[in-house]
Amino acid sequence: MSEVLKIVKASKPMKRFPQPVSIPTGFLNTRVLRDNFKRQMAAQYEVTTKALKFIARNAALPQKVRIEAQVQLTALPNFTRMNQVRDRCVESGTSKKIIKPFRVSRYQFRLMARDGEFPGVKKGVW
């Protein structure tokens, strides 16, 4: 598949967001795109955020350095934070009642499980 990927031209990064990100394949939606952007940014800034947090919370470091780190941390834009990402349905984009191991919402899960898309999942009888 990697050869195919090379031949296929990569989609253009989106300009609607402050930083260009790649577009996911599969179901697309404004909210999915927005969440995807936040995910990419959170991953990109993860090391920086953690390092700043380490400096700010470490009581052994000089007070001025700690305050500076805290200021820098709060100055970062919201989209770099991990708690901004929300699990969304991969099939329909809804954010409610997501079944985590399969990353789909309840209705999509039911349809897909009935079709046998998930190995091992069958109708519950007990």
For tokens 């039911």, what's the residue?
A: 110
The residues with which 99 forms a beta bridge, in sequence order, are 104
CB of 16 to another protein, least distance (A): 16
Dihedral over Cα of 103, 91, 38, 96: its sign: negative
Which phi and psi (to 5°) does residue 52 adopt?
-65, -40
- Report which of 30, 18, 35, 17 is spatially closest to residue 84, judged by C-alpha positions: 35
CB of 101 to another protein, least distance (A): 8
Site string for another protein, 2-41 (x = CB under 8 A): --xx-xx-xx----------xxxxx-----x---x--xx-
Rg of the chain (C-alpha set): 20
Q: Please report which helix (H) or strand (E) contains residue 10, including its range.
A: none
Contact 49, 81 (CB under 8 A): yes
Site string for another protein, 45-84 (x = CB under 8 A): -xxx-xxxxxx-xxxxxx-xx--xx--x---------x--
Nearer to another protein, 16 or 50 (CB): 50
CB of 100 to another protein, least distance (A): 10
Interacting residue ranges for another protein, rule: CB under 8 A? 4-5, 7-8, 10-11, 22-26, 32, 36, 39-40, 42-44, 46-48, 50-55, 57-62, 64-65, 68-69, 72, 82, 85, 87, 90, 97, 99, 103, 106-107, 109-110, 113, 118-126
